Structure 1
Amino acid sequence: MKIIILGAGQVGSSTAESLANEGNDITIIDQNPILLERLQEHLDIRTVVGFAAYPETLLKAGVEDADMLIAVTHNDEVNMVACQIASSLFNTPKKLARVRATDYLEYPALFNLDAIPIDVSISPEQLVTEYIADLIEQPDTLQVLNFFEGLAQLVAVKIDHGSDMDGRSIEDLLALLPKVQMRVAAIFRNEQLIKPDGGASLQADDELFFLAKKQQVRDLVKVFKKDYQPYQRLVIAGGGHIGKQLAQRLEQDHHIKIIEHDESRARTLAGELHSSLVLHGDVGDANLLKEEQINKTDVFCAVTNDDEANILSAMLAKRLGVRKAFSIISKASHVDLVEGTSIDIAVSPAQITIGTLLRHVRRGDVVTVHSLRQGAAEAIEIVAHGDKQTSQVVGRRLDELRLPASATVGALLRDGQIFFAHKEIQIQSEDHLVIFIANQQDVDAVEKLFQVGFEFL
């Protein structure tokens, strides 16, 4: 597939790397030649220096025969105009754009062929808000990913020393919770993948991924965590779009305080929120955090636009006794920097956004894509089509699938009913399957497996 990416920032460069590694023909446009040179040093891609919305720049990038345009510059208006030009002048088949401003997103009628021809608009702020809210609603998890329109969740959890499952097997887990339906997708121990068969022994500090129905996730998490407690008291550092949306979603069931440094913005938030307490102050002020009893708070969530402020305030809150510290971190280098520090969860907007972008690029009928472990792994929801003659999966049992070694089927959805994977399940046309792929390099092989032959088409 020939794809043009506008913007060589964190999202654009990471998307280019993922798509180039899968054999796509990638051209990336940016005004910063240094960024483009760095990308070309380790990726087999073309680069064009120029203003992304100019027709001449798009022509240099080969827009005339491009299959897709992905507009992820830092400017909403540039992204939208570029999609308009690609459609009006060059009839580009598919156009994806990052749109951050809520003023645009509140009017979805803007994005259609008769107005601004964007096929898919992506709001990083909305995606990040949903991601953090899921982490708070499922306490003591490292990652929570939705599948089957929210009916099932893939959850990452770290096994505590002295928990019910420390030193026991997956078979013991099934015996301990006989009424809970689930599937262990992967076990990582010291960064090494452990095959998740029934006899696999679990150890403290293992990172375990399991798939379960949403309403049963908490029962499962409890057996891996020694002192499991729901989150009740939250402090949100930053009252921007994400901070506001997060408070609006959670304030009905949680006690929320927001710290906002801009007095005018703080007053506006106080008038728009119902039960959340809005404080005017500095998120890095130790005295303020002590006054607000941060040591009795369950989650400190740093969501300002400043990586350094997020990292330092989250570390400070943790040192002052907060139970869990979350921090949004935009720069990839900063994400690596905080690994092993007191910050419990580093949230990367780029990785979350990339998953949504990849859903629209993948081969086959891919419903959902989630990037895991900083892009090293993926979880996808994919639909099986065809029949036994035209498909490599339809009409075959799960143990007959020629999946790569790193790929595991977690569950399938058929006519609204979830079936958790076991070897005797036979795949039918229109089944939705959740597949965990521990090695990102195997994604291409999985997608090819689900493609139908020409006879079906």
Structure 2
Amino acid sequence: MKIIILGAGQVGSSVAAALASENNDITVVDTDSAKLKDLAERMDIRTVQGHASLPSVLGHAGAEDADMIIAVTSSDEVNLIACEIADIVYKTPTKIARLREAEYLQHPELTAKTRAAVDVAISPEALVCNHVQRLIEYPGALQALDFADGRAQLVAVRAVPGGALVGHEIRELRSHLPSHVDARVAAIFRAGLPIIPEASSRIESGDEVFFLADRRDIHTVMNELRRAERPVKRVFIAGGGNIGRNLARALEGRFSVKVLERSKERAKRIAEDLLKSIVLVGDCADEALLREENIDQTDVYCALTNDDEANILSAMLAKRLGCQRVIALINRPAYAELVEGGTIDIAVSPQQVTLSALLTWIRQGTMVRVHSLRRGMAEAIEAVAVGDRRTSKVIGRSLEELQLPDAATIGGIVRGDKLLIAHHDVVIEPNDHVIVFLVDKRQLPKVEALFRTDATWI
């Protein structure tokens, strides 16, 4: 697949790294020659220096025969114009634009398929807001991901001493759950390394466990791996930017929410926009202020400023002062890997959240949803079984008959409104949504080939 990425910033670089390893023909366009040189040295990709919205630059990058344009520069206007030029001048089939300004997103006609140049608009702020909101709704979860429009969820938790299943084999999970609840452990990461789960695999304290279940049963399964967490009532948000403000707006009807913003003028605007939240003016690293606002009685502290260092320090401070759970927004992947799982419970990477949304549109064929996991090491994929037994390699076959690569496991199948947890005798039917967990992305082509239809299969 020939893909042009406009913008060599953190998101553009992350997307290029993810796609270059999958035998795609990648070209990155940016005005910064130093960034392009660094990318070219680290990856087998082509680079073009120039303004992304200029027709000549797009032409030099190969827009005429490109399959896809991904516009992720720091300017919404450049992204929109570049997609329009790619559509009108070069007839590029698929155009994806990152849009940060909420007002653009409030006009769906900008991405209406019948007439707009942008096929897909992605808002990193909205994606991160939804991601953090889900983490707050599931206390103790490291990640909570939707499949089949929310009918099934994949949740990652860290097993801790005291959990009912810690120190026991996976096969015992079923006996611990109520008769109406079923779940599947899709993968285990121990000391950063993946373990393909078998019935005899033993869950140890500190393991990062990914399991799939019906969304109504998530809390029940989580309690088998962790001690029951107290319900979230109080949320403290540091940073009143787009993410912090939108998160407060989404939460204030269900939780007691406080927002801390350094700028007095912005804090005033936020207070006028929110209905029930308390808005404070001050520094998120001010220990006296946090004590005064009873941070020790806060259930979740979210550091969501645009400064990585401030987020890390304030989250560590809030934890030390007694906050039960702290979440920090961290742009630099190296920082996120260093701090997560220590004093800071969860490090949220906007690049990884955005990459998941992009991969859903980039993957070919029957892949309808893709989530990037473990800083891009693994993926969770929702694939639709299409065709019939003659044209499909999966339809009409039980799960034990499928020729899955070693690094892949099937967690479950969504059929209509029902989630069927993967057991060896489950038979795949047409239009089933199959949820696959892949711990080694190098084996992705084998998974894609498995769900691809052929005219003369058998």
Q: TM-score range by the shorter chain?
A: over 0.9
Question: Which secondary structure state, in structure 2, belongs to the residue aligned with residue 150 of structure 1?
Answer: coil
Q: Give, in angstroms, the shift of residue 171 of structure 1.
A: 2.2
TM-score of the aligned structures, taking structure 1 as reference length? 0.97
Q: Which residue matches 1:163? A: 163
Contact kept, 8 Å, 2:239 with 2:262, in 1: the verdict is yes
Identify the residue that residue 197 of structure 1 maps to in structure 2. 198
State the SS of the aligned residue for 1:90. Answer: coil
Q: State the one-letter code of the partner of 2:258.
A: K
Matches within 5 A, 1:34-433: 34-112=34-112, 116-179=116-179, 180-339=181-340, 341-433=342-434
Consecutive unaligned residues of structure 2, counting only runs of 5 or more, are: none
SS of structure 1 residue aligned to 2:149: helix
**Runs of 4+ residues deviating >6 angstroms:** none
Q: Is the 8 A contact 1:237 1:283 kept in 2?
A: yes
Q: Is the contact between residue 164 and residue 224 of structure 1 (CA under 8 Å) also seen in structure 2? A: yes
Q: Distance in 2 between matches of 1:451 and 1:51?
A: 38
> 1:329-366: per-residue Cα shift (whole Å, max 9, x none)?
11223223324541110000100101111111112221
Residues 399-455 of structure 1: per-residue CA shift (max 9 Å, x gap): 111111111111111122211111111111111111111112222211111111146
State the alpha-carbon separation in 1 of the partners of residues 455 and 358 from structure 2.
27
- How much does 1:72 deviate? 0.5
Superposition deviation, residue 318 in structure 1: 1.2
Secondary structure of the structure 2 residue equivalent to 1:52: coil
State the AA in 1 paired with 2:19: L
Question: In 1, Cα distance between the equivalents of 2:434 and 2:70?
Answer: 27
Partner of 1:278: helix, strand, or coil?
strand
Q: Contact between 1:72 and 1:98, CA under 8 Å: does it hold in 2?
A: yes
Sequence identity percentage: 48
Task: Tell me the alpha carbon deviations over residues 220-252 of structure 1, each in whole angstroms, 9 at most, x when there is no partner.
Answer: 111222252121111000111111111111112
CA deviations over 1:133-162 (Å, ceiling 9, x no partner): 110001111111111101111011111112
Structure 2 length normalisation: TM-score?
0.97
What SS is found at the alignment partner of 1:127?
helix
The equivalent residue for 2:445 is 444
Looking at structure 2, the residues matched to 153 and 415 of structure 1 have their Cα atoms a distance apart, in angstroms, of 15
Q: CA RMSD in A?
A: 1.4
Give the superposition deviation at 1:113: 5.8
Aligned mates of 1:114, 1:409 — CA distance in 2:
37
- In structure 2, do the counterparts of structure 1 residues 85 and 226 end up closer, same or farther at CA, with 3 Å as the change threshold? same
Matched position secondary structure for 2:248:
helix
CA distance in 1, matches of 2:455, 2:91: 26
Q: Is the 8 A contact 1:356 1:370 kept in 2?
A: yes
Q: Give distance in 1, aligned partners of 2:397 and 2:163.
A: 39
Q: Residue 362 of structure 2 aligns to a residue in which SS?
A: coil
Tell me the distance in 1 between the aligned counterparts of 2:173 and 2:152: 19
Within 5 Å, give how 1:6-17 maps onto structure 2. Answer: 6-17=6-17
Cα distance, 1:195 vs. partner?
3.0
Give the Cα separation in 1 of the matches to 2:204 and 2:58.
Answer: 53
Task: Report the residue type matching 2:127 in the other structure.
Answer: L
In 1, the alpha carbon distance for the partners of 2:194 and 2:121 equals 35
The residue type equivalent to 1:153 in the other structure is Q
Match of 2:436 in 1: 435
- Distance between the aligned counterparts of 1:38 and 1:338, measured in 2? 26
Cα distance between partner residues in 1 of 2:437 and 2:242: 32
1:7-36 Cα shifts (integer Å, max 9, x gaps): 111111111111111111111101111111
Judge conservation of contact 1:412–1:418 (CA < 8 Å) in 2: yes
CA contact (8 A) 2:11 2:355 kept: yes
Moved more, 174-183 or 2-11: 174-183
CA distance in 2, matches of 1:188, 1:21: 22
Q: Residues 151 and 418 of structure 2 are in contact (CA less than 8 Å); yes or no, is this contact kept in structure 1?
A: no
Q: Which moved more, 1:274-283 or 1:114-123?
A: 114-123
